[in-house]
Structure 1
Amino acid sequence: MRLLHTSDWHLGRSFHRENMIEAQAAFIDHLVAAITAERIDVVCVAGDLYDRALPSVEAVRLFGEALGRIRDTGARAVLTSGNHDSMVRLGYATDLIDASGVHVRSSLEGIGTPVLIEDEHGPVAFYGIPYLEPEIARHHWGLTERGHPAVLGRAMDLVRADLAARPEGTRSVVLAHAFVSGGEPSDSERDISVGGASHVPVSLFDGVDYVALGHLHGRQAITDRVRYSGSPLAYSFSEEHHVKGYWIVDLDASGLAGAAFAEAPVPRPIARISGRIDDLLTGDRWAAYSGHRLQITLTDPVRPAFPMDRLRERFPHALTLDFAPEDPPEEDGRTWAERTADRSETDLVLDFVDWARGAPAGADEERLVRTAFEEIRTREATR
């Protein structure tokens, strides 16, 4: 049996306010083509299908189209909810759509009850473990211990108990959405530490043939059997050097036979660049970044005027701008009160203009500021 392990689609997500739906649709196009080309039997999607519990209309439409196209290839699909998804909403009508070969596992009650899919060697049991909110799952199972290790440990106990009752040699795949110790996070994952310890030991997954993990956005193999596919697209600049894609996993008669990572196309690469504005605007070495989504850090000693407007003439997809002078002025050790003791209100405003713009206010601007304060003082005196 050949599996495709993916996760963290985050349909409907934006990247620094830039809509990603077209890039996500392009990934779905690639995924459907890969399912056919690689002769995939089962697509496993380990959570965070949407980016929020109430997804946009266009995200829901894309998700529905994706499931239909996957089934049109002849492959089956097993999906779980992640911490960005609504467990209840995603679990709606799952009993009905099971008949189509799309199996969404998004409830506490369904943990330990597998989706059984046959190949020439017999059944493979797919156990979907949705993201477990620690306090909700703890009360559901009557646990005294708090945190992710406790609730995910209970979920895996249910999986192993069911597997032990099946014929010897039954192969097993677990889909889970969690932060496993040893994994490398990025800036785009939502913190899941609320409700107890967020990390879980990899040993919790002992006893199954393959574990398809979601939550962390970088691909990684915690062990040969326990892997993160990562997100198919970059959702933060910390993912600048990530290679995006999915795992293709083969099961033979005895279990895991191998796993290989397949890269997905990058619709628009991301990068972080820094330098002085004149060099960024004219230097030949920066020409390669004109089509990137960019985080730019300016190192000019004085903040340039209208920097983002100027930068976007060469880099139309520049999204964020920071200012880190190469030779910053020495820190003034005086308190704020000490530094402003001999400065009038007008002087403070003009100081701010000089700092923010990198150039002092002109004569007309200075006259406007002084006139404004005179009017304020006159108004206060006549009350």
Structure 2
Amino acid sequence: MRILHTSDWHLGRSFHRVGMLDHQAAYVDHLLAVVEAEDVDVVLLSGDVYDRALPPVDAVRLFDEALARLCASRASVVVSSGNHDSAQRLGFGSRVMDAAGVFVRTGLERVGEPVLLEDRYGPVAVHPLPYLDPESVREPWGLLHRSHEMALGEAMGRVRKDLAGRRRTRSVVMAHAFVADVEARVQVSDSERDISVGGVSLVPTSVFDGADYVALGHLHGRHTLTDRVRYSGSPLAYSFSERDQTKGSWLVDLAADGSVDAEFVPAPVPRRLARLEGELEDLLADPALAADEDAFVQAVLTDPVRPVQAMERLRRRFPHALSLVFAPVGEPMAEVPRARTEGRSDHQVTLDFVRELRGAEAGEAEAALLQQAVDACCHDRELDHAGGGGG
């Protein structure tokens, strides 16, 4: 059986306020092309279909289109929910969709109930485990401790019980969790939501012992924990910490004896990410940075004094600059100064703030603009006098 393992689509997510829906739609096009070109039998989507529990309408429309196209393709599709998804919303209509070859699993009540598929070598039992919040499953499952390991351990107990009653059936498990034998073995990304609240987050790979293949979701970088336990990662980069990651999905061949052979299929890169560091004038003038002019840019400015209108000037050369970090060379990041308000007008306090944060006085135009801002915040503009504390 040929499997395409993907996860963490996060439909509806923005990247530093830039909408990603067009890029996500391009990934769906790529996915369907891989299904046809590689004769994929089943697509596994291991959680975080959406970026939030109440996704925007356009994101729902895109997922609906993706499922319809997969339905019309040669492949079945199995979807499980992640920690970003609403289990109730994503799981709506799942029993009806089963008949169309679209298997969506989001609830506790179906853990241990497999999606049964067939190839020329016999049956394959796919067990899609939804994201299991330790606090939510502790009482209904009667768990002694609150941890992700215990929650998934109970779920895998139910999976093994089901498999024990099936002869010559290969097994695939889908899960959405932080899995690793040692935390240092995997690299986390800034765009991943911390799931440690509600229980210890780390789950050892041994929890999944016995499964022929484990298709994991949650981490946004691809990882091979063992030959049989893998993360596909997200199909797009959702933070600058992911700029060096190759995005895509795993193409997995599950043989008749349960052995697996996996190949990573890179996804298209709609716009490259670049992290530039240096003084602003150097970044604007350096000819070696010409290749970054069409990239999403995060600039780390090392100027000793914060440049005026830094982002505006940066975007004249790098129109897709999205993030600015100020890190003067040899100096710690400046803390936001504490205002000295006694005996000073609101306008003087704002000028102090600019001087202390930037290391230089506000210009004449800036000072006038700050005065307008102060006046706009006052109920009575005549009240902004020294010692009066402003409006």
> Would you call these one fold, judging by a TM-score over 0.5?
yes
Deviates more, 1:360-369 or 1:23-32: 360-369
Equivalent residues, number? 375
- Which residue number corresponds to residue 143 of structure 2? 143
- Which residue number corresponds to residue 378 of structure 2? none
Paired residues of 2:172 and 2:214 also in contact (CA < 8 A) = yes
Cα deviation code 1:170-198 (max 9, x no counterpart): 10000000100243211111111111111
- Which residue number corresponds to residue 311 of structure 1? 314
Instruction: Tell me whether 1:24 sits opposite 2:30 in the alignment.
Output: no
Taking the TM superposition and a 5 Å limit, the aligned residue runs for 1:113-262 are 113-167=113-167, 169-181=168-180, 182-262=185-265
Cα deviation code 1:40-94 (max 9, x no counterpart): 0000010000111111100000001001111212100011000000111111111
Q: Distance in 2 between matches of 1:244 and 1:59?
A: 20
- Which residue number corresponds to residue 279 of structure 1? 282
Q: Write the letter of the residue equivalent to 2:94.
A: T
Paired residues of 1:25 and 1:62 also in contact (CA < 8 A) = yes
Taking the TM superposition and a 5 Å limit, the aligned residue runs for 1:23-42 are 23-42=23-42
Residue 328 (structure 2) aligned to one of 314, 325, 329: 325
- Which residue number corresponds to residue 354 of structure 1? 355
Kindly tell me: are residues 320 and 255 of structure 1, through their superposed partners in 2, closer, same or farther at Cα, counting changes over 3 Å?
same
Q: Distance in 1 between matches of 2:155 and 2:333?
A: 56
Q: Distance in 2 between matches of 1:2 and 1:322?
A: 45
Percent identity at matched positions?
57
Q: Distance in 2 between matches of 1:125 and 1:380?
A: 74
Q: Distance in 1 between matches of 2:18 and 2:332?
A: 35
Paired residues of 2:91 and 2:105 also in contact (CA < 8 A) = yes
Paired residues of 2:227 and 2:260 also in contact (CA < 8 A) = no
Residue 273 (structure 2) aligned to one of 262, 270, 275: 270
Q: Write the letter of the residue equivalent to 1:83.
A: N
Q: CA deviation at 1:351?
A: 3.3
Q: Write the letter of the residue equivalent to 1:376.
A: D
Kindly tell me: are residues 364 and 24 of structure 1, through their superposed partners in 2, closer, same or farther at Cα, counting changes over 3 Å?
closer
Kindly tell me: are residues 160 and 276 of structure 1, through their superposed partners in 2, closer, same or farther at Cα, counting changes over 3 Å?
same
Kindly tell me: are residues 330 and 321 of structure 1, through their superposed partners in 2, closer, same or farther at Cα, counting changes over 3 Å?
closer
Q: Distance in 2 between matches of 1:61 and 1:185?
A: 30
Cα deviation code 1:76-115 (max 9, x no counterpart): 0011000000111111111111000010111101111101
- Which residue number corresponds to residue 43 of structure 2? 43
Taking the TM superposition and a 5 Å limit, the aligned residue runs for 1:54-65 are 54-65=54-65
Q: Distance in 2 between matches of 1:362 and 1:165?
A: 78
Paired residues of 2:306 and 2:326 also in contact (CA < 8 A) = yes
Taking the TM superposition and a 5 Å limit, the aligned residue runs for 1:4-15 are 4-15=4-15
- Which residue number corresponds to residue 66 of structure 2? 66
Cα deviation code 1:3-24 (max 9, x no counterpart): 0000000000001111000000
Kindly tell me: are residues 93 and 349 of structure 1, through their superposed partners in 2, closer, same or farther at Cα, counting changes over 3 Å?
closer
Kindly tell me: are residues 326 and 184 of structure 1, through their superposed partners in 2, closer, same or farther at Cα, counting changes over 3 Å?
closer
Q: Write the letter of the residue equivalent to 1:45.
A: L
Q: Write the letter of the residue equivalent to 1:176.
A: A
SS of the residue 1:109 aligns to: helix
Deviates more, 1:288-297 or 1:154-163: 288-297
User: Under a length normalisation based on structure 2, what TM-score does the superposition of the two structures give?
Assistant: 0.89
Q: Write the letter of the residue equivalent to 1:25.
A: A
Q: Write the letter of the residue equivalent to 2:55.
A: P
Instruction: Tell me whether 1:290 sits opposite 2:293 in the alignment.
Output: yes
- Which residue number corresponds to residue 108 of structure 1? 108
User: Under a length normalisation based on structure 1, what TM-score does the superposition of the two structures give?
Assistant: 0.91
Q: Distance in 2 between matches of 1:201 and 1:207?
A: 14
Q: Write the letter of the residue equivalent to 2:51.
A: D
Instruction: Tell me whether 1:376 sits opposite 2:388 in the alignment.
Output: no
Q: Unpaired runs of 5+ in structure 1?
A: none
Q: Write the letter of the residue equivalent to 1:282.
A: A
Kindly tell me: are residues 355 and 101 of structure 1, through their superposed partners in 2, closer, same or farther at Cα, counting changes over 3 Å?
same
Paired residues of 1:134 and 1:146 also in contact (CA < 8 A) = yes
Paired residues of 1:125 and 1:172 also in contact (CA < 8 A) = yes
Q: Write the letter of the residue equivalent to 1:244.
A: K
